Amino acid sequence: MTSLNDCRDRDAADPLAPLKNLFDLPQGMIYLDGNSLGALPRAVPARVAQVVAEQWGRDLIGSWNSAGWFDLPRRVGDRIAPLIGAGPGEVVATDTTSVNLYKVLSAALTLVEQDEAGQGQSKQGIAGSTCTPRRTVVSERSNFPTDLYIAEALCRERGWNLRLIEPHEVQTCLEPDVGVLMLTHVNYRSGAMHDMPAVTAAAHAAGVLVIWDLCHSAGAVPVDLTAADADFSVGCGYKYLNGGPGAPAFAWVHPRHVARCWQPLAGWWSHAQPFAFKPGYEPAMDITRYQCGTQPIISLSALDCALDVFTEADKLGGMAALRSKSLALTDLFIELVEAQCPGQFELITPHEHAKRGSQVSLSPKGTLPSDSAYATVQALIARGIVGDFRAGDAQQPDILRFGFTPLYLSYENVGMAVQGLQQVLVNKEYALPQFTRKQAVT
């Protein structure tokens, strides 16, 4: 079994170890929750202070031009683009994931309807020609709830159907009535990762458009939307991109689709001539048409600064190196849990590297009470080991969820985290009243 000294030796040989110094992490904390909220990059407070005191406080409205505020969503999008396999001018950092999903899903529904209308006109007069209307959006039942809520609302509004499936049904669900497949690349509960190129190819072969949510992928695992020939994508800026709570999200639309239809939130920032102030809407011909209204410049500036960390990571091997360390960290965590807490947890996250994101999810089993996940996480937090809990239901168990961000986590962190978990079990701290689900403060 790997010892703490072995972990320290691995840290000493880790070429990415200097990146941890770019973050301001609380002393004595092992932070395994970067898949919910990324840690604070050290340079961000000074950048925000400069934007507030100088750009806003001193230069006021002049900063729209002198500081380039109006172009900031596009510039930040260009910095995210290499992390998700997009080209320059193809990504915009704007709004929230939910709002961006509403935009791209609405656009996808419109494209399907437009294509059907065109096909219908071309078949007029042909005896016996029939075509099943594509009026179904397919997504996973375990997808992140906001994605499902947005899809449900749009389907109700547009007269479409929402069909929920299990992960193993993804490539067998593409029936003639399906128009759009909406998936999260890495599942927020299990950490399971889809084969994006294979799923996208299967969908396109069936005449289905694909939307990918990259909230648990961008900055954590290599993504290549262009190579996968995806249609639309959205993602957030506050998890592995470390942009801060509520950081702007991003949207990507394949260039072949950008100018084919309006997105529904036609605000002035998406206008072809936003400062002409014309009464009629003329959408921009590029990705800026997926903006809406005035953007949160301070938050965008924080995200812009946070992305400097990836510039430094590029000097040390970029996303390939980060992915290699992520897999090594998660492999080590799984190994140590199985060795030090034998028979006490079921691994929910896939063992296979190709199917795993950058997190590990466990559910209690063996002698552990099935409802002990919450209390176990709370006991760990009390020890300075921060993971998180996700409640289950009739179909899914409660889980302990741990995110592994290779930018600032060490192998020693992993070893100490599992030692802490072992002590929680040995001491039965999960049974202490201050950690029970009813009494603990979340």
Domain shared by 366 and 250, yes or no? no
Q: How confident is the model at residue 128 (pLDDT cuts 50, 70, 90)?
A: very low
Q: Report the CATH number at residue 85.
A: 3.40.640.10
Contacts of 396 (CB under 8 A, 6+ apart): 142, 189
Of the candidates 23, 31, 102, 144, the residue annotated as catalytic is 144
- In a domain, residue 303? The reply is yes
CA distance 300 to 272: 22
Residue 133's CB is within 10 A of a number of other CB atoms, namely: 14
For residue range 194-203, what is the model confidence (pLDDT) as tens digits? 999 999 999 9
Model pLDDT, residue 438: 54
- Of 312, 337, 356, at which residue does a domain stop? 312
Model pLDDT, residue 120: 60
Q: Using the 8-state DSSP alphabet, how is residue 175 labeled?
A: -
Q: Does the structure show a pLDDT above 90 at 22? A: yes
- In a domain, residue 47? The reply is no
CA distance 80 to 86: 8
Q: What average pLDDT does the segment 259-276 reach?
A: 96
Domain shared by 286 and 412, yes or no? no
Model pLDDT, residue 132: 86
Residue 238 is a catalytic residue: yes
Can you give the length of the chain in residues? 442
Burial class of residue 126 (count of CB atoms within 10 Å of its CB; 0-12, 13-18, 19+): exposed
Of the candidates 47, 74, 103, 401, the residue annotated as catalytic is 401
- In a domain, residue 57? The reply is no
Contacts of 54 (CB under 8 A, 6+ apart): none
Q: How confident is the model at residue 277 (pLDDT cuts 50, 70, 90)?
A: very high
Q: How confident is the model at residue 393 (pLDDT cuts 50, 70, 90)?
A: confident
Closest CA to 312 of 5, 12, 19, 113: 19
Q: Which domain holds residue 431?
A: 4-16+318-435
Model pLDDT, residue 65: 96
Of the candidates 23, 188, 232, 238, the residue annotated as catalytic is 238
Domain shared by 78 and 220, yes or no? yes
Residue 411 is a catalytic residue: no
Q: Using the 8-state DSSP alphabet, how is residue 192 labeled?
A: B
Of the candidates 20, 74, 79, 239, the residue annotated as catalytic is 239
Q: Does the structure show a pLDDT above 60 at 54? A: yes
In the chain, the percentage of residues whose pLDDT exceeds 90 is 93
- In a domain, residue 27? The reply is no
Of the candidates 14, 33, 213, 231, the residue annotated as catalytic is 213
Q: Does the structure show a pLDDT above 80 at 123? A: no
Domain shared by 98 and 178, yes or no? yes
- Of 290, 312, 334, at which residue does a domain stop? 312
Domain shared by 199 and 287, yes or no? yes
- pTM given for the model: 0.95
- In a domain, residue 42? The reply is no
Q: How many domains does the chain have?
A: 2
Q: Report the CATH number at residue 388.
A: 3.90.1150.10
For residue range 356-389, what is the model confidence (pLDDT) as tens digits? 999 999 999 999 999 999 999 999 999 999 999 9
Please name the residue ranges forming H helices in 189-317. Answer: 196-205, 225-228, 255-258, 297-306, 308-314
Residue 437 is a catalytic residue: no
Q: Does the structure show a pLDDT above 50 at 290? A: yes
- In a domain, residue 38? The reply is no
Residue 355 is a catalytic residue: no
Domain shared by 363 and 219, yes or no? no
Domain shared by 201 and 71, yes or no? yes
- In a domain, residue 39? The reply is no
Q: What average pLDDT does the segment 266-275 reach?
A: 96
Looking at every residue in the chain, the average pLDDT score rounds to 95
- Of 266, 296, 312, at which residue does a domain stop? 312
Evaluate whether 251 touches 91 at the Cβ level (below 8 Å).
Answer: yes
Closest CA to 90 of 295, 264, 233, 201: 233
Q: Does the structure show a pLDDT above 90 at 121? A: no
Evaluate whether 251 touches 233 at the Cβ level (below 8 Å).
Answer: yes
